[in-house]
């Protein structure tokens, strides 16, 4: 009888231990987090893209910004007017104002500017063969958004239509090639010229914020010019470590 009591006691203790352990596991699952690394590679041909007049220009991506948050879109409203902060990012590849604008909403730990190509010692555009990299910690129900300008355009930028879920419904972290999530948008703030040759595009324009006002809205680029398929010039990959 005494032995039986001990066995029963052990069984109860074991059950309690398993139950508490399961509770911890369930709890941990609900708050799953991971450290993510994003790599943005310019894989465009080093010979350049062919402009409307037949000359070549290098495909380049400007410095940009990423945010990790719950909101589907912090940078713009599709079919809405661009903010001044978006205009500076889209026209001159400058994410500083957009970063400052979002800082109080998002918090510095959940956002960052990417502007130094890997291996470089100072900020600069992303030219063929180079990459930007950044990392952050994200948890379930959070989303990643990023934005950068299409170099040598008037006001075009890459961004997803909506921020990307960092975990799927089964709790698996976002991993792999996410290039196809990036779309090419027109900020609607400056009239488009042929990419690579327009005199109101960097590096030809005399100063930043130069160009004819468009008074339009943010929408996917749709003009008479030719742009490369995104997957032919950019590769964006994400990895997660839990
Ligand atoms: Ca435009
Ligand atoms: Ca301009």
Give the per-residue pLDDT at 194: 98
Residue with more model confidence, 87 or 29: 87
- Select the CATH number that applies to the domain covering 34-241 from these four: 1.10.460.10, 2.60.40.2130, 3.40.1500.10, 1.10.10.410: 2.60.40.2130
Contact between 114 and 126 (Cβ < 8 Å): no
Give the per-residue pLDDT at 28: 47
184 CA distance to ligand 2 middle (Å): 17
Q: Is the peptide bond before 227 cis (omega within 30 degrees of 0)?
A: no
Give the per-residue pLDDT at 240: 97
103 CA distance to ligand 1 middle (Å): 27
User: At residue 40, does pLDDT exceed 60?
Assistant: yes
Q: What percent of the chain has pLDDT over 90?
A: 84
114 CA distance to ligand 2 middle (Å): 21
Give the per-residue pLDDT at 109: 84
**Beta-bridge mates of residue 64:** 114, 148
Q: How many CB atoms lie within 10 A of CB 36?
A: 22
pLDDT tier for residue 21 given thresholds of 50, 70 and 90: low
Calculate ∠ Cα 94-54-128, nearest 5°.
45
**Which ligand lies nearest the alpha carbon of 154?**
2
User: At residue 90, does pLDDT exceed 80?
Assistant: yes
Burial of 30 (C-beta count, 10 Å sphere; 0-12/13-18/19+): exposed
Give the per-residue pLDDT at 108: 85
Give the per-residue pLDDT at 9: 55
Q: What percent of the chain has pLDDT over 70?
A: 88
Structure tokens at 158: 């890459």
**Beta-bridge mates of residue 132:** 40
222 CA distance to ligand 2 middle (Å): 18
pLDDT in tens, 146-173: 999 999 999 999 999 999 999 999 999 9
**Which ligand lies nearest the alpha carbon of 91?**
2
84 CA distance to ligand 2 middle (Å): 14
Residue with more model confidence, 29 or 234: 234
Q: Cα separation of 202 and 192, whole Å?
A: 13
Helix axes 96-106, 84-92, angle to 10 degrees: 140
pLDDT tier for residue 234 given thresholds of 50, 70 and 90: very high
Q: Where are the domains of the chain?
A: 1-30, 34-241
138 CA distance to ligand 1 middle (Å): 34
Q: Cα separation of 87 and 90, whole Å?
A: 5
Q: Encode burial over 197-230: b for 16+ CB neighbours within 10 A, e otherwise.
A: ebebbbeebeeeebbeebebbbeebeeeeeebeb
User: At residue 178, does pLDDT exceed 90?
Assistant: yes
87 CA distance to ligand 2 middle (Å): 10
43 CA distance to ligand 2 middle (Å): 25
Q: Note the pTM of the prediction, 2 decimals.
A: 0.87
Contact between 217 and 155 (Cβ < 8 Å): no
Mean pLDDT in residue range 56-68:
98
225 CA distance to ligand 1 middle (Å): 12
Ligand 1 being an ion, which residues bring their Cβ within 5 A of it? 155, 186, 192, 214
């Amino acid at each position: 009888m005494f032995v039986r009591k001990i066995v029963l006691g052990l069984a109860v203790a074991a059950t309690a231990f398993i139950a508490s352990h399961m509770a911890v596991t369930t709890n941990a699952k609900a708050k799953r987090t991971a450290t993510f690394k994003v790599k943005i590679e310019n894989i465009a041909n080093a010979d350049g893209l062919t402009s409307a007049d037949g000359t070549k220009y290098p495909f380049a991506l400007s410095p940009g910004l990423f945010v990790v948050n719950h909101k589907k879109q912090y940078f713009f409203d599709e079919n809405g007017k661009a903010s001044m902060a978006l205009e500076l990012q889209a026209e001159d590849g400058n994410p500083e104002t957009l970063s400052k604008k979002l800082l109080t909403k998002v918090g510095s730990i959940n956002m960052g500017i990417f502007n130094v190509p890997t291996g470089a010692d100072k900020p600069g555009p992303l030219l063929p063969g180079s990459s930007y990299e950044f990392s952050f910690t994200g948890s379930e129900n959070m989303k990643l958004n990023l934005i950068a300008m299409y170099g040598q355009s008037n006001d075009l930028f890459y961004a997803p239509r909506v921020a990307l879920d960092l975990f799927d419904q089964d709790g698996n972290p976002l991993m792999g090639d996410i290039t196809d999530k990036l779309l090419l948008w027109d900020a609607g703030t400056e009239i488009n010229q042929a990419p690579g040759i327009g005199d109101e595009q960097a590096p030809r324009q005399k100063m930043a914020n130069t160009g004819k006002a468009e008074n339009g809205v943010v929408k996917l680029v749709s003009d008479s010019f030719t742009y490369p398929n995104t997957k032919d010039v950019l590769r964006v990959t994400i990895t997660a470590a839990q």
